[in-house]
Amino acid sequence: MCLYYIKKKYIIPRKGGVGYKCMLKNGPCYNSPVFPGTDIPIGMWVTDYNKKRIEEEFITSETYRAGFHIFTKLDDAEMYGLTMINTVIVKVKYNKVVAVGHQEGEVVVAKRMLIIGEI
C-alpha cells in the first residue's frame, strides 16, 4: 500500500486521531492484507519500527517514512476494502503521524496504532 501522492510530511511525528483500516481477520486478531504475518489483537498499541522510506507512486517520486496507512473516512476504507479479498474494516486509534496523502481517499501514515474494534 503506497500513497499516490503526498500532501504533508512531518520530521517530528504529529498527534493522532481515529480512522479506519482494512485488515484480515485471524481468530480474535487481525493482520495486514499487504504485509501479513503479525497478529494484532484488539486494544493493544503496536508500533512500526521500520526505518524504510516509501516512494510515492504517481506524481513526484518523493519519499515518506513507512508506517500504518489509515483512512480518515469510513467510506474510503470500505471502497478500498472492495478491492481486496476477505478483508474487514476496523476502527483504529493512531498517533505519531509521519505523512498525510491520498490513496483511494485521504490516508494518514502513522507509526503507532491500536485497533478499537471491527466495523
Position 1 scores a pLDDT of 65
Mean of the pLDDT values across residues 5-22? 93
**Which tens digit of pLDDT belongs to each residue from 97-107?**
999 999 889 99
Position 26 scores a pLDDT of 92
Per residue, the 3-state secondary structure of the chain, as one string, reads CCCCEEEEEEEEEECCEEEEEEEEEECCEEECCCCCCCCEECCCCEECCCCCEEECCCCCCCEEECCEEEECCHHHHHHHHCCCCCEEEEEEEEEEEEEEEECCCEEEEEEEEEEEEEC
What are the residue boundaries of the structural domains of the chain, listed by start?
5-118
Asked if residue 30 lies in contact with residue 48, where contact means CB atoms within 8 angstroms, the answer is no
Position 34 scores a pLDDT of 82
| Whole-model pTM over 0.85 | yes
**Which tens digit of pLDDT belongs to each residue from 45-95?**
999 998 888 876 666 778 999 999 999 999 999 999 998 888 999 999 999
